[in-house]
Amino acid sequence: MEVGKDEITAEQRRRAFANLLAALAKRKTNQASWKLLKCQKPSSESTPSNAVFHKPDPISAPNPLHKPESLSPPLERFRARLEVCSADSFSVTPVPVQGHPYPGQEACFEKLRDILSYVVPSHYTQNTGGGRGCVYNLTDYEAVLRSIKGCKDVECEEIPWGTLNVVEKLSHSIIPGR
């Protein structure tokens, strides 16, 4: 008996059927494992209709989504404080954030240089608290603010809107050379 290319032998048929059964059995075991993950509806028999459910006390009840502080150290963060220096400039000074380790002034300035790489600082200054600050032109305020706010590990302390408004008006009224 000669077997053609298109015909399937009994041995091939038996192997295909065995593979099909194995695949179906594997699929059933995979689906059974998902049943454990689904929420089960409470049956009316197990819960009386007059049962009272109490909210757990948020202080004493452990939050399953909250990770203990000991497993992961808090992220290094700092606050970029924007302050008016003169009628046409403002400074960006890194300050520590309470509850987070401070990376150090040099690391903060390096991070700020990376964030504000396309804004040219006019110079560095020393503030009354003894810390350094990077001074920018007031015309770059929106670009600096937007860039700092876009960085997730740097908080931003803006210049109050009223103060900024007055300073901008003053900067337009100053006549250069006088």
Task: Give domain status of residue 94, yes or no.
Answer: yes
Place of tokens 């997730």: 152
Range 139-152 average pLDDT? 89
Task: Give domain status of residue 30, yes or no.
Answer: no
Task: Give domain status of residue 21, yes or no.
Answer: no
> What is the percent of the chain where pLDDT is above 70?
63
pLDDT at 158: 87
pLDDT at 151: 87
Model pLDDT for residues 124-137, shown as the tens digit of each residue: 766 666 667 788 88
Number of folded domains that form the chain: 1
- How sure is the predictor about 86, in pLDDT bands with cuts at 50, 70 and 90? confident
User: How is residue 61 annotated by DSSP?
Assistant: S
Task: Give domain status of residue 120, yes or no.
Answer: yes
Rounded CA-CA distance 95/156 in Å is: 10
Structure tokens at 37: 């993950």
pLDDT at 134: 81
pLDDT at 89: 85
CA angle, 97 then 103 then 105, to 5°: 90
User: How is residue 124 annotated by DSSP?
Assistant: E
Structure tokens at 178: 């006088």
Q: What is the pTM of this model?
A: 0.52
Structure tokens at 43: 């049956």
3-class DSSP string for 63-108: CCCCCCCCCCCCCCCEEEEEEEEECCEEEEEEEECCCCCCCCHHHH
Rounded CA-CA distance 12/6 in Å is: 12
The parent domain of residue 96 ranges over: 78-172
For the ranges 25-29, 40-44, 71-75, 158-162, which has the lowest average pLDDT? 40-44
Model pLDDT for residues 15-59, shown as the tens digit of each residue: 999 998 988 887 776 555 555 554 555 555 555 555 555 555 555
pLDDT at 18: 92
Task: Give domain status of residue 157, yes or no.
Answer: yes
Task: Give domain status of residue 141, yes or no.
Answer: yes
Rounded CA-CA distance 108/169 in Å is: 31
Task: Give domain status of residue 82, yes or no.
Answer: yes
